[in-house]
Amino acid sequence: MTSSIQKIGTASKLRKVLLICGIVSSLLYFSMDIVAGLLTEGYSFTTQAISELSAIGAPATPMWVPLGFVYAALLIAFGVGVWVIAGGQRRALRVIGVLLITLAVVGSLPFPMHMRGDEKTFTDTMHLVIYGLIVPPLLMLSMGFGAVAYKGKKRWFSLYSVGTIVTLLVVGTLTGLSAVQIDAQQATPWVGVTERILVHGSMLWIAVLAIVLLREEIDRRAMLKGSSQQMTP
């Protein structure tokens, strides 16, 4: 009995660590954005995109690239945690886990953009494809399955997921238009604002999902612990 309880406790701790990675990943990316922007002379959080902080030749790129891989590893760990905690009966959560892992892998592909004014190449095209046509749908699909997973219980999270999807659709359209302006070397007065709503809004959703699942795991562990204590003579 004691051995079984210890195994359950160890498995629960591992799940908690994996879920906490979701919170840490969002905090890390937010910190990367702020610190890199502050360290880049002349950078504007209002008129410049986040991708310009990691552009080819940008001052913050040497810091951004390794931290970007750390972020991806944390997001993959969280995706695994979502898959594990879903078990075999919460299919929507399992799909979210797969989508988050895919998102982390695709987002890690080495296709940075060039700085404004530099000659555009194939890597710029792929950057637009990945972050304009692949990453946003993966994020919104994750949120859609999040809404499905909690449509019966924790309805607030379901509504929050739908609200986030609607917000991302609006600001994503505006950000897409700004991407065209960047490519044409035109002014982008609000691209920094719209893109940060898009990116950090997504990060916030991931962190909230992690907190919801973490609380579920804590409650489940407490319930199992209570049951085992009652069974112990």
Per-residue pLDDT of 29-85, as tens digits, reads 999 999 999 999 999 999 999 999 999 999 999 999 999 999 999 999 999 999 999
Which domain does 166 fall in, by range?
Answer: 2-231
pLDDT tens across 124-136, in order?
Answer: 999 989 998 899 9
Contact 21, 219 (CB under 8 A): no
Note the pLDDT of residue 3.
54
| pTM confidence score | 0.90
Residue type at position 205: W
- Average pLDDT on 134-139 reads 94
Note the pLDDT of residue 1.
47
- Average pLDDT on 162-166 reads 97
Note the pLDDT of residue 167.
95
When divided into structural domains, the chain yields a total of: 1
